[in-house]
């Protein structure tokens, strides 16, 4: 089953104005359950734009985007938000943790947004994810007491707490040192193996991307190479 499918996907900023700038020029792509895929390409090639569109944070100008088999073009905002919360987890370069909250409450946040007060089950799940990212003993600490690498791991646990089918990560290791970046990537590999969610991760680091089974290169808003293409033909 495809977690994600793009057909002829285009994205222009400021469409219909003199400032119109098309940055994604008709992309076709399929991501299957359990695929760990790196998205690489030079700065300005459209990687962040693509991630925002896939994450339903921004709308395509043309083409179609199917998430979990559902076409999204004609969805209203409410339906898009519901599908986003159901299907997608996000990890950004700057993790946007709430520094005054505990590590555990940061991880619980997406569930609290969803249904208010966390249940005992929620807390068990969040603690399990903290253990998974190596931070079981830090649950009660304030987020700002942790190191950069630790905070990024909290952000990964938070992104997984809703059990997303697709995890999107935009340069999650961009401000980490090499060793810490490698450990965060190792964590993505393990999550991908254990939870079976598809992971799409933007990275500038060729060593990290080459450790992914599939890597997609975007140049000037077009996919110029895709090492997984052969597996993905019907
Ligand atoms: P990358 O993530 O590969 O660096 P981006 O998706 O950030 O690429 O940017 C692709 C192109 O879109 C760039 O030319 C950038 O200047 C332009 N762009 C990004 N965001 C906006 C925006 N909000 N409005 C107008 N142009 C934008
Ligand atoms: P910092 O941000 O200060 O570098 P980290 O908490 O990221 O500290 O940990 C530093 C190193 O510890 C990592 O590079 C990694 O080698 C190791 N490490 C700690 N916990 C884990 C973990 N759960 N998974 C993998 N490596 C880990």
Q: Identify which of 16, 17, 23, 54 to mutate to test ligand 1's pocket (most ligand atoms within 8 A of the CB).
A: 23
User: With a cut of 0.95, is the ipTM above it?
Assistant: no
What confidence score (pLDDT) does residue 229 get?
Answer: 60
Q: Is the pLDDT of residue 233 over 80?
A: no
Tell me which residue of 28, 13, 9, 211 sits closest to 201, measured CA to CA.
211
Distance CA 214, CA 32 (A): 11
Of residues 3 and 228, the one with the higher pLDDT is: 3
Q: What is the pLDDT of residue 43?
A: 94
Strand, helix or coil for residue 116: coil
Strands 2-13 and 62-67: antiparallel
- The answer to whether 200 touches 223, Cβ cutoff 8 Å, is no
Residue among 52, 57, 4, 50 nearest 26 (CA)? 50
- Residue appearing with tokens 């990687």: 47
The rounded distance, in Å, linking the Cα atoms of 81 and 147 is 32
186 vs 22, more confident: 22
Q: 89 CA distance to ligand 1 centroid (A)?
A: 22
Residue nearest to atom 24 of ligand 1 (CA): 13
First to last CA, the chain: 11
pLDDT at 231 over 60: no
Q: What is the pLDDT of residues 87-119, one digit of tens each?
A: 999 998 777 899 999 999 999 999 998 889 999
| Torsions phi, psi for 28 (to 5 deg) | -115, 130
Rounded to the nearest angstrom, the distance between the alpha carbon of 136 and the centre of ligand 2 is 13
Mean pLDDT of all residues belonging to the chain: 91
Inform me whether the pLDDT recorded for 70 exceeds 80: yes
Ligand 2, atom 26, lies closest to the CA of 183
Nearest to 155 by CA among 226, 106, 113, 201: 106
Query: Each residue of 162-208: pLDDT tens digit?
Result: 999 999 999 888 877 888 888 888 888 888 888 888 999 999 888 78
Mean pLDDT value across residues 24-32? 96
Question: Alpha-carbon distance 151 to 95, whole Å?
Answer: 7
Residue 22 above 90 pLDDT?
yes
pTM: 0.84
Average pLDDT over residues 123-128: 96
């Amino acid at each position: 089953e495809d977690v994600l499918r793009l057909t002829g996907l285009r994205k222009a900023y400021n469409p219909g104005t003199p400032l119109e700038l098309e940055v994604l020029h008709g992309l076709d792509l399929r991501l299957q359950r359990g695929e760990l895929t790196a998205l690489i390409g030079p700065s300005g090639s459209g990687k962040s734009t693509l991630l925002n569109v896939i994450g339903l944070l921004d709308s395509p100008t043309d083409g179609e985007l199917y998430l979990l088999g559902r076409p999204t073009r004609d969805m209203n905002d409410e339906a898009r938000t519901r599908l986003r919360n159901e299907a997608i987890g996000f990890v950004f370069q700057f993790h946007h943790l709430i520094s005054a909250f505990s590590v555990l409450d940061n991880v619980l946040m997406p569930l609290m947004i969803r249904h208010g007060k966390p249940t005992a089950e929620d807390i068990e799940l969040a603690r399990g994810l903290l253990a998974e990212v190596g931070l079981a003993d830090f649950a009660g600490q304030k987020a700002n007491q942790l190191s950069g690498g630790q905070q990024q791991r909290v952000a990964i646990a938070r992104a997984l707490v809703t059990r997303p089918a697709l995890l999107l990560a935009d340069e999650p290791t961009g401000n980490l040192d090499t060793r810490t970046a490698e450990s965060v990537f190792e964590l993505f590999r393990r999550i991908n193996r254990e939870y079976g969610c598809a992971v799409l991760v933007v990275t500038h680091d060729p060593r990290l991307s080459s450790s992914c089974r599939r890597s997609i290169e975007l140049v000037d808003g077009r996919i110029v190479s895709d090492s997984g293409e052969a597996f993905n033909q019907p």
